[in-house]
Amino acid sequence: MAFAPSLSGPETISISSLNALEYCPRRFYYQFVLGEMLVNEFVLEGALAHQRVHTEGTRTGSEGEITTTRLYLCSESLRISGYADVVEEQEGLLIPVEYKHGKPDKRTGWLNDAVQLCAQAFCLEERQPRGVLIPYGYIFYIGSRRRVRVQFTSELRARTLEAIARAFQIASQETIPPPLSGGLVARCPHCSLLPLCLPDEVRLLQVEKA
């Protein structure tokens, strides 16, 4: 697993912040670097939905499977850390499960959710015997009560490593990344940081300066 984050900037990156980065680098900067967090109905709904899995605990099922909630994870080699909502263990194989309050995208899924889940798998793999890779994980979308299986393909693993490297790079910057552009602008109205980010106003200023 080749990875060499910058020696400047933060010592570690939180796993959950990778989700914000893939959604919008500007959001990542506000939340992770500047520590800004605003609450809207989507954030509140997600927080309430997570209450059950945010209580630490371990239980064993009828078939011997072990389920652990709110498990702390870290990777010394990648310098990332955070919590997994749920980790299921069957015959020694660890499977991460992430809970999200929304619904899965019918066409492409949510890459930001998949990257967050894959980063959790990287951390768990460091606890596995050398060379053992976790093949998949699950994202449970509370809005549709649907569990989506995410394969940890070589492409997703590469994208996740790129996201980690990019997170360290952006977190070392002194300037906030620009607002999203093109088709990604559709994400802005649903973002809790909209009143702080003011993407429309910033884009207008950029056009006027051009």
pLDDT the model gives residue 207: 79
pLDDT, tens digit (0-9, with 9 covering 90-100), for 113-156: 999 999 999 999 998 887 889 999 999 988 778 899 999 999 99
pLDDT, tens digit (0-9, with 9 covering 90-100), for 200-210: 999 888 877 76
- CB 70: neighbour CB atoms within 10 A? 15
Four-residue CA torsion sign, 93, 108, 187, 101: negative
pLDDT the model gives residue 14: 97
pLDDT the model gives residue 92: 83
Residue 68 has phi, psi (to 5 degrees) of -115, 130
CA–CA separation, 164 vs 13, rounded Å?
Answer: 8
Q: How confident is the model at residue 29 (pLDDT cuts 50, 70, 90)?
A: very high
pLDDT, tens digit (0-9, with 9 covering 90-100), for 153-187: 999 999 999 999 999 999 999 999 999 999 999 99
DSSP-derived 3-state class of residue 125: helix
Higher pLDDT, 56 or 93: 93
CA–CA separation, 6 vs 115, rounded Å?
Answer: 20
| Assigned CATH class of 13-177 | alpha beta
Residue ranges per structural domain of the chain: 13-177
Let me know: does 28 contact 190? Beta carbons within 8 Å.
no
Q: Structure tokens of 47?
A: 């927080």
CA–CA separation, 9 vs 144, rounded Å?
Answer: 39
DSSP-derived 3-state class of residue 73: strand
- Measured CA to CA in angstroms, residue 67 lies from 15, 56, 71, 97 at distances of 20, 11, 10, 10
